[in-house]
Amino acid sequence: MATVTINPGQALAPRKLHAFIDESGVRSRSKSSSDHFIMTAVVVEDQDLPASTQFLAQLRTDLGRSPGDVLHWVRLQKHEQRVHASKSLGSQEWATVSSVIACKRHLSTQITDSQFYLYTFRYLLERLSWLARDSASILSYTLAHITRPQMTVAELRLYEAALRNMPTSIAWGSLDPKGGRIEQPSRVEMLQCADLAASATFRAFEPDTYGNIEGRYLQELAPRIYRRGGGAITSYGMKVHPWDVSTKAAYPWVAAL
């Protein structure tokens, strides 16, 4: 390998991170829809992408799947499979997880389903930009393709441009100026990790038919959740919205993660 000479005072190139983003739950706020909508990112440094590929290959083997099969939470029908997937991802030191949990029954604002999706994405993008800023990195991101309604790359660009003109806390200098991409999990396999992380988080908040929640999956994933120094997990790695008296009482276990 050739030796690279760095002149005194020459700045090192920033680290490159990539966030893979997926969702769980229903965006609609109808009475019959889910009580929660989760948007989760799994962040990987570009140099660790080969390790993430090896992880997914091993996980497919563990779960009895064929090479190249798309791993999707809903297809992991056994509890032990979901525990293993969550625990395996939770042990990967190359991964950092950040989520926004929208508690729909606690929200008072009246917005459309599309606006609700974008509002949740804004909160997540803020946290991803902070992660990149704090690690002297530049972060790019890929969202899993969404439907009902479908969002195009052109619409994403319009929203990114609108956000730049809003009084947000996004650290734009730490994000790739090209903007995000939208892809299918079958084409960008790291989106499968985002699906697993989002679904594991969703099950800790959303009651099943009998009113029970399953926190084991999130507990296994917890070691990889973004924690900024000694800051609260609810400010960085797990943004619960809204985080007020009602939600603090409803989810007292979140702050203890």
The pLDDT tens digits of the residues spanning 199-228 come to: 999 999 999 999 999 999 999 999 999 998
Arithmetic mean of pLDDT, 154-158: 93
Arithmetic mean of pLDDT, 137-166: 90
Q: Kindly report the length of the chain.
A: 257
Q: Which residues pair with 241 in a beta bridge?
A: 102
In a domain, 97, yes or no: yes
Lowest mean pLDDT across 23-32, 160-169, 192-201: 23-32
Q: Which residues pair with 17 in a beta bridge?
A: 45, 139
Cα 200 to Cα 22: distance, rounded to the nearest angstrom: 12
Range of the domain at 143: 15-256
In a domain, 5, yes or no: no
For residue range 83-109, what is the model confidence (pLDDT) as tens digits? 999 999 999 999 999 999 999 888 877
In a domain, 7, yes or no: no
CA distances from 138 to 10, 162, 193, 196 (A): 18, 21, 21, 25
What pLDDT, on a 0 to 100 scale, did the predictor assign at position 31?
Answer: 77
The residue type of 199 is: S
In a domain, 8, yes or no: no
In a domain, 175, yes or no: yes
What CATH number did the domain enclosing 157 receive?
Answer: 3.30.420.10
- Answer whether 0.85 is exceeded by the pTM: yes
Cα 163 to Cα 216: distance, rounded to the nearest angstrom: 36
Domain count, the chain: 1
pLDDT beyond 90 at 173: yes
In a domain, 193, yes or no: yes
Cα 240 to Cα 253: distance, rounded to the nearest angstrom: 12
What pLDDT, on a 0 to 100 scale, did the predictor assign at position 7?
Answer: 52
In a domain, 54, yes or no: yes
In a domain, 159, yes or no: yes
Arithmetic mean of pLDDT, 147-168: 88
